[in-house]
Amino acid sequence: MTRLRTQVGSLPRAVIARVRGMSQRARTLAVSGIALAVLVTVALVLPVPYVKLAPGPTFNVIGENDGSPFIVIEGTTTYPVTGDLDMTTVRESGGPRGGLTFVEAIGAWFSTADAVVPRELIYPDDITGDEVRQRQAALFSTSESDAIGAALTYLGLPLETEVVATAVLQDAPAGEFFEPRDSIVRIDGEEITEPGQVVDAVRSAPIGTTFAFEVDRAGESVTFDIASASNPDQPETPYLGVTVGRYFTPEFDIDFTLQDVGGPSAGLVFAIGIIDKLTPEDLTGGGHVAGTGTIDPEGNVGPIGGIRQKLAGARDSGAELFLMPERHCDEAEGFVPSGLTVVPVTTLSDAVDAITTWTAGGELTSCPLSGEN
């Protein structure tokens, strides 16, 4: 009875009164039922080790956001554009950014636009939310640079290449000195022309070695000395905590104003948007186009994640033509929304040709449409 009184004592008074009026067996069953209900309720709201993928917002990269163009080009001739050219995104719930409840996970199973995957397939157990954001920001910055390289290469316009800091870990040695987009000019007096030179310089010297850096920060020369530390993931490897990559610079200014979006999959759409603004032809012709795909400076289109969610998001935003990496056709089959023409591409040229053909009313090779939803 002592155990029963302890359990009952934490219940509301009305429930206690009812329980006391029952037989011992009935009271035991009632308390057990209440305890089970509490446990089930708690289980439903506890986080589960899964990540939910759902359609995220779309952004018209040839349009404006709060009065400012998403792609700003200055110092050269640009041309009017019409219509929509949407980059698509995936909204994540769970993982290191926050818990996903059992109820949310079950709900996603019944949505053709959502997906639930084990968290470890996307994020290692030891990664933090801050690290995810930093990595995603670095990938996004690289995609912007590669889009510039691909677009200007397609147009036959000259480019210069810089080695820049694409991401900086604030709790690493680099956090005190580097800023994202710093252009690395020299290390210990040696001119830097390739990202691999920075990696080789740091890793070939003992942990604790001090390096003299010269960087260009928004046109201003900045110098500092920085010592390497032990890499937390590989203790015997020296590191600074800065990710470096190539950044392509045209003879005029191209800037991207989109904030708080990460990952590399906007590269293809960014490149098309730059081409649209730099050529007299109105590429989309007032139509609504969306797409996704990574891109390299040579214009090759690479794979992405969340294709089913991006298809649903594109159609929800009103898109009629969707461009995506060819290798995702099999994955998309059965999940292509009605009214959306999905065209597989492998290069930037393929994508531009597809839009031109579509606006002219021509025939397009599309991904399978079986199992439309």
Average pLDDT of 323-330? Answer: 93
Q: Judging by DSSP bridges, how do beta strands 229-230 and 301-302 pair with one another?
A: unpaired
Q: What is the pLDDT of residue 84?
A: 96
Angle at 55 between CA 49 and CA 56, to 5 degrees: 100
CA 319 – CA 314 distance, rounded (Å): 5
CA 190 – CA 150 distance, rounded (Å): 29
CATH superfamily of 159-250: PDZ domain (2.30.42.10)
Contact at 8 Å (CB) between 340 and 294? no
**Residue ranges of domains in the chain:** 2-45, 57-89+139-156+253-373, 159-250
Residue 41 above 60 pLDDT? no
Q: pLDDT tens digit string along 214-250? A: 999 988 999 999 999 999 888 899 999 998 988 888 9
Q: Considering only residues 127 and 271, tell me which one the structure prediction assigns the higher pLDDT.
A: 271
| Concatenated DSSP letters of 320-363 | SEEEEEGGGHHHHTT-PPTT-EEEEESBHHHHHHHHHHHHTT--
Contact at 8 Å (CB) between 306 and 157? no
Contact at 8 Å (CB) between 313 and 58? yes
Determine the CATH number of domain 57-89+139-156+253-373. 3.30.230.10
| Concatenated DSSP letters of 202-249 | HHTS-TT-EEEEEEEETTEEEEEEEE-EE-SSSTTSEE-SEEEEEEEE
Give Cα separations from 38 to 3, 143, 180, 287, 337 (angstroms): 18, 48, 49, 54, 41
